[in-house]
Amino acid sequence: MRITASKTMVTMLAIGAAAGAAFLISCATIDRVVVAPPMIPGAKYVGMDSCAVCHEKEVQDFKVTAHARIHIEGDADRVGTQGCEACHGPGSLHADAGGGKGKFILSGKEADSCFQCHLDKRAEFKLPHHHPVTEGRMTCTACHNPHGQDINLAKGTLVGRVNESCAQCHREQARPRVFEHEAMREGCITCHNVHGSINPKMLTERDNNLCLKCHAQIALPNTQGQTSIGKFDHTPFLRQGTCSSAGCHTAVHGSDTNPHLRY
């Protein structure tokens, strides 16, 4: 009887563990965010065609973006949630009034509207080093056009547009240099997490780890632990600090005076 009870208990524990694992896997494989549609008291959904009467250009551009594929499931009267009203809310009051900013949700002015779907970005803006969006000194639309084609470009064509967005504020870092840092060709997001990071200056990696992702550190043969980077012996410099703080490659975005990226 003891053996039978023991086997039964083991079987039950195994079934429970399998069920728990299946639950965790099912949750982990969900690749979409389910949210409630925005609501405006007394307003009804009118559909994107109604918006196009006044906002023709925005609707035309919007149709080729990833946002245009959003569809919030619901009753028939929520058909308008596929399109403009998915973010701005039902538009009947806005349309009946002939426009008016107080009749619908101004998503571009309210980061919380974007955060309803972009939950990961909300979390990144809470990291120690971030752009001041949650503080109200910037908006998502300062860098992103939610109606425009630029939010749906292929990765290879996105780099230039990302750099242009950053250059609106960071002009000194983005301007052309006599001696360029080739990483700039890959885009600012190669080194910076633009929404937020645990590292100063919103860097994706800290210390030398970021530089060494491209500039391989190689042990010199027949030496006592000497290290080469870029065909140069860097052993004495590595002891002084990071690539920039050691006083060597201080012009990390490019230099006008030195090919080794120094001021």
Q: What is the mean pLDDT of residues 236-249?
A: 79
Could you read off the pLDDT of 41-64 as tens digits, one per residue? 888 888 888 889 999 998 988 888
Q: Determine the Cα–Cα distance for residues 5 and 1; give it in Å rounded to an integer.
A: 6
- In DSSP terms, 218 is beta-bridged to 228
Predicted model pTM: 0.71
Could you read off the pLDDT of 62-94 as tens digits, one per residue? 888 878 877 666 554 555 557 888 888 888 888
Q: Which of 21-35, 64-78, 149-163, 222-236 has the lowest mean pLDDT?
A: 21-35
Q: Determine the Cα–Cα distance for residues 212 and 191; give it in Å rounded to an integer.
A: 12
* b/e per residue 120-158 (b: at least 16 CB within 10 A): ebbebbeeeebbebeeeebbbeebebbbbebbeeeeeee
State the number of CA atoms in the 13 A half-sphere of 198 facing the CB.
3
Residue 212 DSSP label: G
| Summary mean pLDDT of the chain | 77
Structure tokens at 254: 């490019």
Could you read off the pLDDT of 154-201 as tens digits, one per residue? 444 454 566 788 888 999 998 999 999 988 888 888 899 999 999 999
- In DSSP terms, 179 is beta-bridged to 255
Q: Is 119 helix (H, G, I), strand (E, B) or coil?
A: helix
Return the sign of the alpha-carbon dihedral for residues 246, 248, 249, 250.
positive
